[in-house]
Amino acid sequence: MQLAFIARQIGLQNRTTSGNILGGHARNAEETAILSIATLLAQLSYSAGVWALLASVDREGHRSGRATMQAQSGASRAAERNVGVPVSQQQLTKNGLGSALAVYEVAALVMEQTCSGASSFWSYPCHPGPHGEIKSDLDYELVTMVARAVSGMERDEANGLLNKVLGLYEGTWDQPEKGKRYSYYYDLRTLTPSPALADIYRRGEEELIRLGVPLLD
């Protein structure tokens, strides 16, 4: 409260963050979405924030499950249509760096977020993944390609494609691939990815195209 007051007094543009736990703070996707908007409104009432980061997670902190994505989608749409603040989203994966499944998780999250009205994506390389690794620039390229591909897509078409992509990793949800650390895949002097990592993303993108996701260069 004090930080919000100080920021308002000196004219900083606040970001509000509404993150709620499905199965913890709420029982299902619908309740989690409602709680996200209630939290957002409470914060806006004293912070005068101008944009929001909305994040629904399960009890393990993951975002790319079907129910958490439904909650994120509902909250994002409500914020866009009825609250009137731009929404930012993140793509944190359960599977680790260097896993094809993580590529599909990123793609699924971007599809859901773009088609639910997200105005920006907050991706940053310094954030550790679930097993300590960090994101790579290839993830950011993937985010851009998928967002451009599905932007403006009709709901039924987007849902059909999203269900196909979810099918690529939902079957192994309880046994995620750990992945490897950034230093395994990157030359730390030149900060360039290894051919092996680039090939994982290339093959993942080819699979997305095969399923019908119209990726763009």
For the chain, which residues make up each domain, given as ranges? 1-89, 97-217
SS3 content of the chain, % helix, strand, coil (to 5): 55, 10, 35
User: What is residue 11's predicted lDDT score, i.e. its pLDDT?
Assistant: 77
Residue 133: per-residue pLDDT: 54
CA atoms within a 13 Å half-sphere pointing along the CA-CB vector of 192: 3
Q: Residue 214 and residue 109: Cα distance in Å, rounded?
A: 16
Report the C-alpha gap between 183 and 185 in whole angstroms: 6
User: Which residues, at least 6 apart from 85, have a Cβ–Cβ distance to it below 8 Å?
Assistant: 16, 40, 44, 49, 50, 51, 52, 79
Q: Which amino acid is at 14?
A: N
Give one DSSP letter per residue of 186-213, joined into a string. Answer: EETTTTEE-HHHHHHHHHHHHHHHHHT-
Scanning the structure block, which residue is given the tokens 């997305």?
Answer: 208
Q: Work out the burial of residue 143: count CB atoms within 10 Å of its CB; fewer than 13 is exposed, 13-18 middle, 19 or more buried.
A: buried
How much is the pLDDT for 54? 87
Written as tens digits, the pLDDT of the chain (217 aa) is: 777 778 778 877 777 888 889 999 899 999 999 999 999 998 888 777 778 888 888 988 888 999 999 999 999 999 988 998 889 888 888 888 888 899 999 999 999 999 999 888 876 554 445 555 566 788 888 999 999 999 999 989 999 999 999 999 999 988 888 888 888 888 888 888 899 999 999 999 999 999 999 987 5
Specify the pLDDT at position 128: 47
